[in-house]
Amino acid sequence: MCRLFKLHRSGFYAWLKKPISNRTLEDNRLLKLIKVFYVASGSTYGSPWIHSDLREAGEQCSVNRVAKIMRQHKLKAQIGYKRRHIKGGKTSRIADNLLARQFNPPAPNQSWVSDITYIRTYEGFLYVATVMNLFPRRIVGWSMDKNIDKH
């Protein structure tokens, strides 16, 4: 059988005595520590930060070894959200300042203000537009969407 697979007999018998190498045993021990630090970080740390945590815990290993173990066990850092870069377009028109900082109108339905804000979620950004009547200080309308459009 050794001749068929082109193996040395001594290597085969050494493997029979100890099928799991010292390196694999050490990698399995490191994997347990890596998983502890990975879960503690909320699955956000990559190999450099995990390596830093291992060094603080007194472990001696390289960042490349940590990266290899994480890659083999599909432990990936949660990277920030993708930013969409919008290329230059038409310049926006600035609305006239009709209120002149008078935010206390004498009667209802004379002054309304609006605002657009965004909320960061795991699926991207959620845009929220609101309209507020300044006399009672109540929201009279709002809209949410995953895209910020001119509608």
pLDDT value of residue 44 = 86
Over the stretch 93-124, which tens digit does the pLDDT of each residue have?
888 888 888 888 888 888 889 899 988 887 78
The CA-atom distances, in angstroms, between 126 and each of 100, 119, 130, 144 are: 31, 5, 13, 7
Is the pLDDT at 7 greater than 90? The verdict is: no
For the entire predicted model, the pTM comes to 0.50
Phi then psi dihedrals of residue 60, to 5 deg: -110, 105
Over the stretch 59-80, which tens digit does the pLDDT of each residue have?
999 999 999 999 999 998 887 6
Contacts of 90 (CB under 8 A, 6+ apart): none
Q: How far apart are the first and last CA of the chain?
A: 75
